[in-house]
Structure 1
């Protein structure tokens, strides 16, 4: 098995780590609120999501939203506005709670009762690489059957664990798996 790439982009190749592309795709599947938190509609939607139940409020506090209930009520009523720092905390808490809430659903959809999900690897961009240094990297697909480690690392926001879990799956591509450590995008649906 080849070692990981140490000096990516040395000859001008462009791309992102595979686990980052997977995290982006999982974020897209999570269905976050599209309106930004800086807009009143986006702020209210996030606050309602984080305060609609006791369980949601507890999860929001655990995720870093540590303001009092009185302050949250004032934000909801529009009598006070959160600071920029609190807006960032609201956004982070919302994303964390949303990931936790959709994880079980996504896991069931991705595993599909043991059948797994077809994943498309779109190779890195070599448009900036001189011809003698280009390598043959083609579009590939594979079926990933067990998503537990990937989804758990995504929910926890642990990049290293997500990278390790993803490399364990990519190694199933065979001896050429190192060519797909960096990609332009990863595609799959749930």
Structure 2
């Protein structure tokens, strides 16, 4: 994700304001917000977490300290919160410690969904074919049941905005995280 793509996404998010999305199962006013940028230490991810960040997330964090997308204005029970770089470092250990058996080296939890405890996981293992992929970690299900949401953060955010905050990856027939990774590896070898 280059800086121009980030700027376009941010402009789109800022223009959303408060909306009633008919595509969401229960009609409710939702608000989206781009938080102001704040300083962060890119080296801390390598030093503290052993993580190499995809360019998409670094470009995003230089432009904003977080996103709040399609947040339920009335009850706060719907919406996507993409954390700041500093909050990711704080939350990472705590969240992974709760479910050590499901997370792998290179998993970076970058946000959460309000109301259901799903987590957004960005794959940050540069040696793996799934580097940069976005997965949705489900609170009660093992990793094999997690959703593969997109092959990049940019694609994930674009699709989420286009779906007006609806969880597009939950459409029947979409692949689990493991299946999506395997399929992408096959496609890469063919292409």
Q: How would you bin the TM-score normalised by the shorter chain? A: under 0.3
**What TM-score comes out, normalization by structure 1 length?**
0.22
Which has the larger share of helix? 1
Q: Which has the higher contact order (CA 8 A, sep 6+)?
A: 1
**What TM-score comes out, normalization by structure 2 length?**
0.22
Which has the larger share of strand? 2
